[in-house]
Amino acid sequence: MEEKQDCQCDGDKGCNCESEKNGCNCDEEKAGCNCEDEKNDAHSGDSKKGIKKLTINNFSSVKNVIAIMSGKGGVGKSSVTSLLASGFRKRGFEVGVLDADLTGPSVPKMFGIKGMAKGNDFGILASESSTGIKVMSINLLVPREDDPVIWRGPILANTVKQFWTDVIWGDLDYLFVDLPPGTGDVPLTVMQSIPLDGLVIVTSPQELAVMIVNKAIKMAKQLDIPILGLIENMSSAVCPKCGEEFQLFGPGHSKEISDRFCIPFLGSMPVDPFLAKLCDHGKVEEYYHNLFINFIPDRFVGSRKNQDKSDNER
């Protein structure tokens, strides 16, 4: 993966590689921005400028938090989140998925996790998938998975925050956050309160991808969160009979967009009926794919370990 710092873009294309930001820009409508300087980031000991992050509980430690965002629902954000988590788990990492999409939670279903999450005196225990991925979702806290969550924005935002502060995750190398679609209030609150190390953007050809990416870049820049890459979903299809892959809407534009915005292109995912079937049956972990193989996580863990080390030495 190309590191953002190495990017040679001249900066006028919306690339956020030059860090001209050295203070909180909470001038505008960013209600809820806590720009006091004293940072309290137990997650990493590493403060993101100008934004006060929430502290995780004493029973959890998470080395890297990666959020998955999209412009709208239905583009495959939860599928990508689940596949990323499964892929990293297969590589031997300790992995969790925080389902921040409270009004459209689908992560437990994809992993086949049923029943309510358990709790103890210290917090809520994350449920576990068949391969040992820790999962927390609103669906694991309501008696019936088809109960709708009809709450207003502030309650939604607080609930998601509690997924970070009150859930016992244990020791994780990677926590993937399935963000609600769009760039509205709830995703903004999540991005402001949870110490994210990076964002992955999922687009589909039906979306106005340029606009979505533009918005996402602006938001990420404001919040000082690096964009790790772009994934294009559903631009091609796999024939269920012979397995051949063909373009559904002509050539995709994500590669072009990723070049234009200086964002690494992590790959495209064809429409595959087998994936849909596995998701429906709670067996997403069984999907074989070689997506995201260039998405090198080790470097991330390595840098965080070094960070911890230098923190300790201080």
Ligand X SMILES: Nc1ncnc2c1ncn2[C@@H]1O[C@H](COP(=O)(O)OP(=O)(O)O)[C@@H](O)[C@H]1O
What φ, ψ does residue 22 adopt, rounded to 5°?
A: -135, 30
Say which entry of ligand X, Mg ion, Zn ion, none residue 268 contacts (CB below 5 to 8 A, set by partner kind): none
Rounded to an integer, what distance in angstroms lies between the CA atom of residue 291 and that of residue 223?
28
Say which entry of Zn ion, Mg ion, ligand X, none residue 248 contacts (CB below 5 to 8 A, set by partner kind): none
Residues making contact with ligand X (CB under 6 A): 70, 73-79, 106, 233-234, 269, 271-272, 275-276, 279
E strands, the chain, in order: 60-70, 95-99, 119-120, 123-125, 127-128, 134-136, 167-168, 170-178, 198-203, 227-238, 245-247, 265-271
For position 70 contacting Mg ion by CB under 5 A, the verdict is no
Q: How far is the CB of 79 from Mg ion (least distance, A)?
A: 8
**β-bridge partners, 206:** none
Rounded to an integer, what distance in angstroms lies between the CA atom of residue 126 and that of residue 140?
9
Say which entry of Mg ion, ligand X, Zn ion, none residue 241 contacts (CB below 5 to 8 A, set by partner kind): Zn ion
For position 127 contacting Mg ion by CB under 5 A, the verdict is no
Nearer to Zn ion, 92 or 243 (CB): 243
What φ, ψ does residue 89 adopt, rounded to 5°?
A: -65, -40
Q: How far is the CB of 87 from Mg ion (least distance, A)?
A: 18
Length of the chain: 314
Stretch that binds Zn ion, among 8-16, 186-194, 221-229, 233-241 (CB under 5 A): 233-241
The contact mask relative to Mg ion for 91-110 (x = CB under 5 A, - = no) is: ----------x----x----
Assigned token pair, 202: 């999922």
Stretch that binds Zn ion, among 3-11, 17-25, 177-185, 239-247 (CB under 5 A): 239-247
Rounded to an integer, what distance in angstroms lies between the CA atom of residue 117 and that of residue 109?
14
Nearer to Zn ion, 150 or 242 (CB): 242
Q: How far is CA 296 from the centre of its chain?
A: 15
Question: Which of residues 5, 27, 146, 241 is near Zn ion by CB under 5 A?
Answer: 241
Write out the residues near Mg ion by the rule CB under 5 A. Answer: 77-78, 101, 106
Write out the residues near Zn ion by the rule CB under 5 A. Answer: 239, 241-242, 244
